[in-house]
Structure formats: C-alpha cells, structure tokens
Amino acid sequence: MLAKDIYQVTTTHFLGPIMPLLDDPQVSEVLVNGPDVVYYEKAGIIHRSDLKFPNDAALMAAAVNIAEYVNRQVDADHHSMDARLPDGSRVHVIIPPASRQGICFSIRKFKKSSFSLKSLVEWGSLTAEAAEFLEFVVLIHKNTVISGGTGTGKTSMLNALSAAIPEHERIIVIEDSSELQLYQPHTVYLEAQPPRPDGKGQVTIRDLFVDSLRMRPDRIVVGEVRRGEALDLIQSMISGHAGSLTTVHASTPRDAAIRLETLSLMSDVSLPIYVARAQVASALHVVIQITRFGDGSRRVQKITEVLGLDAQNNYQFQDIYVFKAEGHDANGMLLGRLHPTGIRPSFAEEVHALGYGNRIKLTQEVFGPAPSAESMGEQAHAG
C-alpha cells in the first residue's frame, strides 16, 4: 500500500467525527473550534453542526497524523501548520496557547475543478457578456489581478479565467499550497515548502518565482500574492511576461493596487515608494473585484481597467463593468447583474489587431468594430 493510501485510511479514522461533512459534496469548508464546536459552510452560508470530537486529545492526534503526512510539525515549538489532506483538501491547524478555545482546524475542501467562465455565468457570478470580455483579456495577455476577501471565490475565478489560456502555451503555476487545476496540457505546478525540523529545506514563493523565469514560461500564474514576491511578479509583468494572473486580498480595485504596492515594499530590495507605485501602475491592466454578499452568493462586483498614474501620482481606474443590485427574490436571494458602463477599454483595438475580432459576439459595444484599413493606414503613417 502506498504511503498516500495509508494516510488516507488513518486520516479518515482520526477525522471520523466530521467525515459526514467532509463527504458531503455540498459542503465547501469545515471549521473546528475545539472538540465541541464544529461549523460548516454550504452554499456560502455558515451553519453550526451537532458533530463533536471526543476530546482535545482526539483532535491533537488528528493534527499530528496530518503533520506526519506532509512532513511538518505541530507542537509546543510550532503553534500552527498549513497542510493538505490526502484528498487534496487544504487544512490549517492552530493549537493552544495561541488558540484559547482549544485546537482549531480550518479545512477548505478540495473539489476537482469544473470551473470555467461558462459555469460562473450559469451560477450567476457574472454575465455572459462579461465572461466574453474576460476571455479576450486573457487572450491578449493583459495582466490580471483577482481581488476579494476571504472566501469570495478568488481561486475559483482564477481557475475559470485560466481556462481561456490557449492550449499551446507553457504555463508555470506557483502556489503556497497547491489548489489550482488548469486544463492546459503544458502546465508545470510549483509548490512552496516549509523548512524541515532542522531548519533547512525551505522553498519560498520567491524562490519558485526565480526558478519559473528560467523555465521559459508563456504565462506565470501565482495562486495568491501575500509577501515580497509581489515585487518579483510586478517586475516580470513589465519585463516581457505579460498575461500573468494572480489573486490578492483587497476590497476594491484601488485597494488591490495599493496592496501590491505595499507587498512590493516588503521585499529585500530597497525601493522608494514612488518607484513601487509606478511599477504597479505600469504592470496592472485589469482588476476583477469579487464580493460575497449577505445571501452567500459570490459575484463579480466590478471589472476595472488600470490606467496608470495621474499628475499627482495617484492610481487611475475606469470601470468597464459594474454590478447593480435589483432587490431580493422570495427566498431572500439577491437579484442583480453586471452592467457595462459604456466605457471602452484602452486596449479595445488590440483584440482586432491580434486577430480575435471575428470572435466578438456579445461585446461589440465594448470593443467596437474592427478598425478600417484607412484608419490603420493613418495610424501607421502617424507612427
């Protein structure tokens, strides 16, 4: 029996009290706050469960088993741990005294990706027109950031968006904990590694980013930017690796840009603030802002173009699509949809110039008709 199979059996045993939730395909997260308190998320809403663990010792045994599976430690010297269950689910463990109410587990369940922009349209996260717009954004290699809070569906959107990448491209995926599942056959997945008990062997996102630039990528996809690796990503975006995709924790497109700027300053490269801001403004093209609403639904709230800096060194943005709420239905679910603002993105003509004009169906008003031969000739002469 393979080691993974052995740990699948032992993990199932130790997590037995909450297996009904882990086996439920409708449950997306399981949250254990000590042995007696278990919550779960279903359809975006948190519910209290009546399931329990026998005691703290049973929870600790589960934590130690998971730690052994991923070759990590959780003990008096290691108060928390990020790991993965044998089925691919992501788990965070934190133990007392850092956690006052006992050992806590936060399990983000693994689901084999079926995400595509089409599926997000079917679920009401965005409109078919906005999905077509985003497909063109990916095709013409616009650097795109997916912004949102915890649990808003940023990873799902990143999976869906990546499905628009042409199959012939070589993609390097970099993550702290492997979650993304791309459809393209030429995809290389890199995963950060914590230090071993002896303190050696750590592999950071920044280490992997340096590796990725030597691996002839057509695209670089970073699961989430959290630290100084933001500078590496931003600099790669402006130095020949356009079309990068990533996610960041932020509440607005402006906050997303400022967050990347701040993270860039956390690197070991000393940068003046105005330089960091100029690089972020130059690198970013599109921000997709996702929000989780009170009814549990996750929707794209804005699709925004980044237009660089103004004369006062402030970020400039223009919204291409904005969500407008229209009330609630009989079940309390939010009604509304993404509407185009009528603003044409600055890169509209690139869609035609790169040969994708014949694929425009729903976004004619956004991208406009193909430029005439006369206008293109005038532009070439002016250039």
pLDDT computed for residue 296 by the predictor: 84
122 and 58 within one domain: no
Domain boundary pick from 87, 108, 129: 108
Residue pair 222/231 in contact (Cβ under 8 Å)? The answer is: no
Q: What CATH number does the domain containing 89 carry? A: 3.30.450.90
pLDDT computed for residue 239 by the predictor: 83
Residue spans of the chain under pLDDT 50: 379-380, 382-383
Domain boundary pick from 44, 79, 108: 108
**Pair of tokens at residue 231:** 């500078």
303 and 275 within one domain: yes
162 and 145 within one domain: yes
Is residue 376 domain-resident?
no
Q: What CATH number does the domain containing 350 carry? A: 3.40.50.300
Domain boundary pick from 108, 126, 151: 108
189 and 73 within one domain: no
Is residue 380 domain-resident?
no
Is residue 220 domain-resident?
yes
363 and 271 within one domain: yes
How many domains does the chain fold into?
2
Is residue 273 domain-resident?
yes
**Pair of tokens at residue 64:** 């130690």
Burial of residue 364 (CB within 10 Å: 0-12, 13-18, 19+) is exposed
| Residue corresponding to tokens 């070991």 | 268
Residue pair 211/188 in contact (Cβ under 8 Å)? The answer is: no
Q: Which domain holds residue 17?
A: 3-108
pLDDT computed for residue 234 by the predictor: 93
pLDDT computed for residue 380 by the predictor: 47
pLDDT computed for residue 29 by the predictor: 92
Share of the chain above pLDDT 70, in %: 95
Is residue 382 domain-resident?
no
**How many H helices and E strands in the chain?**
13, 15
**Pair of tokens at residue 19:** 């297996």
Farthest CA pair distance, the chain: 78
| Residue corresponding to tokens 């609630």 | 328
Burial of residue 30 (CB within 10 Å: 0-12, 13-18, 19+) is buried
287 and 201 within one domain: yes
305 and 174 within one domain: yes
Is residue 208 domain-resident?
yes
60 and 136 within one domain: no
245 and 153 within one domain: yes
176 and 230 within one domain: yes
190 and 66 within one domain: no
173 and 89 within one domain: no
pLDDT computed for residue 348 by the predictor: 96
